[in-house]
Amino acid sequence: MISKQLFAQQALLATGWRQNVLIEWDENGVIQRVTPDAARPADGEVVACIIPGMPNLHSHAFQRAFAGLTEYRHAQQDSFWSWRNLMYAFAARITPEQMERVATWLYAEMLEAGYTSVCEFHYVHHQPDGAPYADPALMCRSLLNAARNTGIGLTLLPVCYQNGGFGGQPPVALQKRFIHSTPQILALWETLLPLCRKQHARLGIAPHSLRAVDPQNLADLVEAVRRMDATAPVHIHIAEQLKEVEDCVAWSGQRPVEWLLDHAQVDAHWCLIHATHMNEREYQQAAATGAVVGLCPTTEGNLGDGTFDYPLWHKHQGRWGIGSDSNSVVSAAEELLMLEYSQRFHLRQRNIGAGDGFPEVATALYLGAVSGGAQASGRQVDGIAVGQSADVVELDDTHHAIASLPSEKVLSGHVFGSSRTSAIRRVWTRGQLRVKDTHHLLHDQALAGFIEMRKELFNAG
């Protein structure tokens, strides 16, 4: 039964921009009909321009608490590894209640920025001394609460973190909040499964990286999760840094992606986060698995990771999506802009992201990121189409970046011409209105909670 309809004068569908599109969804927020070139209904809501909600395929929510606060010289030559020590210091202090406050504000920000779902790669599990909470799922419940209260779609990815480096090196003291044995993380997973299903969240698993989980535990973990849910998303950090590649070669004789493809049954349910440093053979073989590569351009730029070879991945028809990762930037449009500009810097060319049938870079990148992000999330959020969640973003056709533009130019204005303002007016998830300029239920409350949480963290430090 149709419970809601929205008539858009222009809408971005998987095939491109269409005019006079009538979208209808049921009481569960699932799209039942999409009718282009429709007659304008006598009643029902009419909007000028809509695009699909963007899935965010990689987030560490707690890192929003120190966004912008690591931009000072910490070592003679700062890198990801010196930044990681600063990040660990924040992770050592955050409480479950503070985790919920930072995630609530972050998820409200994401919705306001056009992200309608998020894959939360979550590894701060235990008390500061490393002992489990009386409820081992307490930190995860904080994230579930934040997602439920804001209305963002959630794929929860509890992280299995066991070692401090390749070859089973012991974890360092600042990693003690992260550590789980394989039986412990699987017990947590079983606890979380009914909680996620109850609020329409998806549960996946995240072996943190090849340096943090040894081969046997990686195999055991994925096999056990597959028995409980054969389609559960599996996300892993891989080949983010050159040092990681070098250390992996020293340990195994193989590069990280090469090793993973040879030793794990990587398929379309996997998401390879970053995969920045691959050789041509790895690009070809990884793309052939159907796995998604999770690109996080603003974080990769912030951390000095390097540049992903987007044209080579595209050549092999690789799937990809975008994530906000460390959440120093929360903007789907800016991730796409940074992706395109990083390619231009590297290749000294323009309009790298244009795709077959989509000469407009922003449109091609946007549709690619929506489709790959939906696959990585394991949720029905692949654009404005029958059977997908009614996750819809309305653009403000009076905003200076897009006003008076023809439909095929709208995303170009939104991504490349908005000057860090937002052309987003309203956002729906599962058919429910969440954003009306700002999160219409809890923007002010969530912001106040975030500010107080940061004050507490700094006073504690």
Q: What mean pLDDT is predicted for residues 197-205?
A: 97
Residue 83 predicted with pLDDT over 70: no
Which of 214, 305, 309, 325 is an active site residue? 325
Same domain, 397 and 265: no
Active site residue 325: yes
- Sequence-distant (6+) residues with CB within 8 A of 403 are 397
Residue 154 predicted with pLDDT over 80: yes
Residue 306 predicted with pLDDT over 80: yes
Residue 277 included in any domain: yes
Q: Residue 79: which pLDDT band, with cuts at 50, 70 and 90?
A: low
Q: CA-CA distance, 154 to 203, in Å (whole number)? A: 8
Helix/strand/coil (H/E/C) assignment for every residue in 4-40: EEEEEEEEEECCEEEEEEEEEEECCCEEEEEECCCCC
pLDDT at 365 (0 to 100): 98
Query: Count of domains in the chain?
Result: 2
Q: CA-CA distance, 144 to 212, in Å (whole number)? A: 25
**70 vs 267, which has greater pLDDT?**
267
Residue 350 included in any domain: yes
- Domain boundary pick from 348, 377, 406: 377
Could you tell me the two tokens for 185? 């993380």
Provide the CATH number for the domain around residue 263. Answer: 3.20.20.140
Active site residue 391: no
Q: Residue 307: which pLDDT band, with cuts at 50, 70 and 90?
A: very high
Min mean pLDDT across 58-67, 206-215, 425-434 is at 58-67
Provide the CATH number for the domain around residue 419. Answer: 2.30.40.10
Which of 274, 414, 439, 443 is an active site residue? 274
**Which domain covers residue 414, as residue numbers?**
2-52+385-444
Residue 449 included in any domain: no
Same domain, 372 and 433: no
Q: Residue 89: which pLDDT band, with cuts at 50, 70 and 90?
A: confident
Q: What mean pLDDT is predicted for residues 218-236?
A: 98
Q: What mean pLDDT is predicted for residues 223-250?
A: 97
Same domain, 422 and 319: no
Same domain, 281 and 360: yes
Percent of all residues in the chain with a pLDDT value above 70, rounded to a whole number: 97
- Domain boundary pick from 355, 377, 399: 377
Q: What mean pLDDT is predicted for residues 413-437?
A: 95
Q: What mean pLDDT is predicted for residues 47-63?
A: 96
- Domain boundary pick from 332, 349, 377: 377
pLDDT at 358 (0 to 100): 92
Q: What mean pLDDT is predicted for residues 206-225?
A: 98
**444 vs 439, which has greater pLDDT?**
444
pLDDT at 47 (0 to 100): 96
Q: CA-CA distance, 38 to 22, in Å (whole number)? A: 6
Residue 457 included in any domain: no
Q: Residue 461: which pLDDT band, with cuts at 50, 70 and 90?
A: low
Residue 1 predicted with pLDDT over 80: no
User: What is the distance of C-alpha 3 from the center of its chain?
Assistant: 30
Q: Residue 245: which pLDDT band, with cuts at 50, 70 and 90?
A: very high
- Give strand pairing partners of 64: none
Same domain, 68 and 46: no
CA distances for 20 relative to 8, 42, 106, 335, 413, angstroms: 6, 14, 34, 29, 21
Q: CA-CA distance, 277 to 287, in Å (whole number)? A: 14
pLDDT at 86 (0 to 100): 74
Residue 92 predicted with pLDDT over 90: no
pLDDT at 400 (0 to 100): 95
Same domain, 299 and 399: no
Buried b vs exposed e over 264-286: b needs ≥16 C-beta within 10 Å? bebeebbbbbbbbbbeeebbebb
Same domain, 135 and 21: no
| pLDDT per position as a tens digit, 368-382 | 999 999 999 999 999
Residue 430 included in any domain: yes
Same domain, 370 and 240: yes
Residue 270 included in any domain: yes
Same domain, 302 and 361: yes
Residue 452 included in any domain: no
pLDDT at 101 (0 to 100): 97
**Taking the model in full, what pTM does it have?**
0.96
Backbone angles phi, psi at 272, to 5 degrees: -95, 105
